Amino acid sequence: MKGFLKSVLATVTGIILVSVIMGVLTIISLVGVAASSAASTSVEENSVFTLSLSGNVEERVEENPLSMLTGEVSENLGLNDIIAAIRKAKENEDIKGIYLEAGLFVTDAPATQHAIREALLDFKKSGKWIVAYGDNYTQGSYYICSVADKLFMNPQGMLDWHGLSSTPYFLKDMLAKFGVKYQLAKVGKYKSAPEMMTADQMSEPNREQVTAYMTGIWKVMLSDVSKSRNISVDSLNAYADRFVAFTDQKELVKMKLVDKLLYTDEVKNEVRKLLKIDEDDEINQLTLSDMKNVRGKKQKGSDDKIAVYYAYGSIVDSEEGGLLSSGHNIVAEKVCKDLEKLAEDDDVKAVVLRVNSPGGSAYASEQIWHSVTRIKAKKPIVVSMGGYAASGGYYISCAADYIYAEPTTITGSIGIFGMFPDFSGLLTEKLGVKFDEVKTNKHAAFGTMARPFNAEEIAMLDEYIGRGYELFRKRVADGRKQKVEAIEEIAQGRVWLGNDALGIKLVDAIGSLNDAVDKAAKLAKLENYHTTSYPAPAGWLENLMEQGTKGSYLDEQMRETLGSLYEPVMYLKNINRQSAIQARLPYFLEIK
């Protein structure tokens, strides 16, 4: 018995010791990773910033400590990191140019591509050069790379230039096979988000607005590429109609779409010539990861602070109310607390709210709107719109002192709707479930699973949705200092591009996030200040703990397997978790 107890004790002690040792090693590893990421990167003379246009671009990327420990490279790029790196490269005297390497590059919206392109154009004002190279150019990566002084392509490569298209999803008939249908209450003839669940094709008002904003985006792209490549807009349209992806590579040179056909080693020699070094010399390169740790231009010392708060993703009431199983959300209960702290912080003299959102919960949007007004009562607040600031995204923006948008920002969509799933067909017809009913009052069974809403109940919902629309419209009118009647003429759920929104006074100016910061400083009458980004990144321990609860690995595998079907499948999976009253764009707006 004593031997058995000794054996058990030794085993338990061993397990405890191993656990302690593993814990210590993990902490040491995390500290090492944190220390290495915090260390500044020195820049050698005659260096090149190599920006790889490959992967998915998001508004902001949170670091994954597990990936960093295992050496796994994330395919996600942060727009904020890219813009900051380009600015640092412009300011650093030891960086002589930028080398753009085109690959499979995916952005959330055309405005994101435009923001990167504008940052590169600003870089060129320093007199430094940009060289671009790609084995294959997607249309988006070519649009960005067209700013380059020299644009090269692999002799056997491909360049995609085809125009824009959008293919929305319609799931009504698929749901009907399972006995599920949606009941709709909405305000706004252009409010098209519910069509995915309630129609089998685009309505004419929706087709009108989609045609308008896609044509507007394409005009911007044509104009920008035309100026950079010295090719007429008519020629660029003709090339798109020819679908030049299948054109002989030598013809692309004649079309002036590329400057020369070169292999990778030959491109390196072109870069060496620009650096004025020998062909045998090594090129000093800095990656995007390196640039994160390069010190930027030192701001003038001051305790005065401009807070840049990032609000991106779907707007939800709580973390449990997300529309999808993954991705970043604007969680109202958290954002409101954060904005309240910024309103009370005396060191924060102004706030820039960076909005990139297609909208979401109408209730959550109202709560965030209220928090914005509380800041506005104490200090200036300026909105910088990213790829989307529509519906709920515009709701949370409209109260700001000043609003900037990109030319191709998708905004407006002032409207509201409620979609309510009816599972009674699934339960009674498909599964054979029977229901009975006893009630004490007329509407005691409102919302029962046993049947769809009746006409009187739908009328009550329409009235409720109507009041929500009237409130949204008034919020916009008050914020934009216009009459409600004027807002009604441009509302009805109509989507507008940033360029068009400027003419109808939904935004105040076309500009970047940096322009918004400059405006905030001017409104706050600040000469010396520094900027701080919010919300602050999660701590290492918090990030590490979250990895086990998000199901990130399985989620990535599902995304890879399902491809473009991933989002609608996950939407159906979480159909009962979203807020019923929505102010948002179509769920899966895709422009390619």
**pLDDT tens figures, 496-536:** 999 999 999 999 999 999 999 999 999 999 999 999 999 98
- Nearest partner of 258 among 177, 175, 146, judged by Cα: 146
Task: Report the phi/psi class of residue 121: left, alpha or beta, with left for phi > 0 and alpha for psi in -120 to 50.
Answer: alpha
E-assigned strand segments in 150-225:
150-159, 181-187
- Nearest partner of 89 among 97, 79, 77, 99, judged by Cα: 97
Distance CA 13, CA 20 (A): 11
- The answer to whether residue 560 scores a pLDDT higher than 70 is no
Using a 10 angstrom Cβ sphere, with 0-12 exposed, 13-18 middle and 19 or more buried, the burial of residue 87 is middle
Percent above pLDDT 70 for the chain: 80
What pLDDT shows up at residue 583? 74
DSSP H helices, 125-201, are 139-145, 172-176, 195-198
Residue whose structure tokens are 């905004």? 411
Q: Could you tell me the pLDDT band of residue 549, with boundaries at 50, 70 and 90? A: very low
- The answer to whether residue 74 scores a pLDDT higher than 60 is no
- The answer to whether residue 565 scores a pLDDT higher than 80 is no
Compute CA distances 568 → 178, 312, 320, 571, whole Å. 16, 20, 18, 5
Q: What is the mean pLDDT of residues 477-497?
A: 96
What pLDDT shows up at residue 9? 55
Q: What is the mean pLDDT of residues 272-290?
A: 93
What pLDDT shows up at residue 94? 95
State the catalytic residues: 191, 391
| pTM score, whole prediction | 0.87
Collapsing DSSP to helix, strand or coil, 99 comes out as strand
100 φ/ψ angles, rounded to the nearest 5 degrees: -95, 125
- Nearest partner of 349 among 403, 311, 386, 308, judged by Cα: 308
Distance CA 171, CA 587 (A): 12
- The answer to whether residue 470 scores a pLDDT higher than 90 is yes
Residue-wise pLDDT tens digits, 347-366 = 999 999 999 999 999 999 99
- The answer to whether residue 135 scores a pLDDT higher than 90 is yes
Q: Could you tell me the pLDDT band of residue 72, with boundaries at 50, 70 and 90? A: very low
Q: Which CB contacts under 8 angstroms, 24+ apart, belong to 329-333?
A: 329/360, 330/357, 330/360, 330/364, 330/368, 330/396, 331/364, 332/361, 332/363, 332/364, 332/365, 332/367, 332/368, 333/367
What pLDDT shows up at residue 296? 78
Residue 537: partners with Cβ closer than 8 Å, 6 or more residues away: 62, 63
3-class SS shares of the chain: helix, strand, coil, % to 5? 45, 20, 35
